Amino acid sequence: MTSGVSPQLQMRLKSSFIGDRFLRSSRNQPLPQLFRFNPGNKHVSMQLSRTLSGLTNLFFNRRNVDEVPNSSRKRLRPGKVSPRRQVPKHIPRPPYVNSMIPAGLVSGPQVHDKKGIECMRASGRLAAQVLQYAGTLVKPGITTDEIDEAVHQMIVDNGAYPSPLGYGSFPKSVCTSVNECICHGIPDSRPLEDGDIINIDVTVYLNGYHGDTSATFYCGSVDDEAKKLVQITKECLDKAISICAPGVEFKTIGKTIHDHADKYRYGVVREFVGHGVGRVFHADPVVLHFRNNESGRMVLNQTFTIEPMLTIGSINPVKWNDDWTVVTADGSLSAQFEHTILITPDGAEIMTQC
């Protein structure tokens, strides 16, 4: 762990980008502390050790063969992961690169001066441009590894570092989460199929600042059920951003998202959160996307992400043996959208847009 990481937050965090190696430091804590925001849940998910999670994954993958109930779609399966891509030596790396331990959550909000805000705008703009480009690549037959290759090249061509690469054990430059994958999908050899949906999560490290964003894209002809989920997830993010301003309680974000999702009977995933972002990848505050009573208010010139993940069915996550990929327990579809925002005197500025 890096110095400055809050011990209390280490125990409770189910971060937007935290793997088993980080959570392993809390293994001796009682189970309810690891499930702070869902204390009655006994489902084996990514908060438990790799061994237990792997057993769950093995059982899950062999149960019900490959079919998703009431659907012609097959369950997602891991493909072959290509070797780690290289970044030119002249491009500055985040401090955590080449460490097998994720950097964790840094205490204190990311609040910026004028120069820092301009740097955040630059990293956010590049992240948005990369994400937009990645979205144009989505079509039946392309592999998620090919998307990763293109994203990687665009980022380094712009003098930036792909933040996920080398964050703990994560082996790729972007997260690609297809269909029932809630988040943290590792790009591999699986070709996208007609009717898939895919979340692409891009974070770039440019001039010492991270810009973090994601969107869910359609692949070919997508059915109405999937389109509706994607649409409402985007609306949840937009509505949450619209209420942000100096002095607003962070818990208002969770209520706004949860209220809108409830109208359509969608589930809101609880184990993964938004977070402060700036000079560090993950910092205070922990941004919950569901109704909660957590304390904390937004501060002028503060930057953080909001990244709701909605599901059609189960909100319970199951982690694969790769320590990262997280899918819905029942194989139901999941969608996510994310922006990095800046708190301004008049509300919030979206930093991750072209």
User: Which domains are seen in the chain, by residue range?
Assistant: 112-348 (3.90.230.10)
Does 184 appear as a known binding residue?
Answer: yes
Sheet containing 339-344, strands listed edge to edge, beginning at the edge strand earlier in sequence: 106-109, 283-287, 274-276, 303-306, 339-344, 347-350
Q: What is the pLDDT of residue 25?
A: 27
| Contact by Cβ (8 Å): 287, 275 | yes
> Can you say whether the dihedral through the CA atoms of 22, 25, 26, 28 is positive or negative?
positive
| Contact by Cβ (8 Å): 324, 343 | no
pLDDT band at 53 (very low <50, low <70, confident <90, very high): very low
23-41 confidence digits (pLDDT tens): 322 223 222 222 233 333 3
Closest CA to 193 of 178, 211, 173: 178
Does 275 appear as a known binding residue?
Answer: yes
Does 152 appear as a known binding residue?
Answer: no
Angle at 286 between CA 238 and CA 258, to 5 degrees: 45
252-300 confidence digits (pLDDT tens): 999 999 999 999 999 999 999 999 999 999 999 999 999 999 999 999 9
Mean pLDDT to the nearest integer, 100-110: 85
Preceding omega of 285 cis (within 30 degrees of 0): yes
Rounded to whole angstroms, the Cα distance separating 44 from 39 reads 13
Rounded to whole angstroms, the Cα distance separating 300 from 38 reads 31
Does 338 appear as a known binding residue?
Answer: yes
Rounded to whole angstroms, the Cα distance separating 114 from 20 reads 37
Q: Looking at the chain, how many residues does it have?
A: 354
333-354 confidence digits (pLDDT tens): 999 999 999 999 999 999 999 9
Chain CA centroid to CA 217, Å: 15
Burial class (CB in 10 A: 0-12, 13-18, 19+), 263: exposed
> Model pTM?
0.85
| SS3 assignment, position 311 | strand
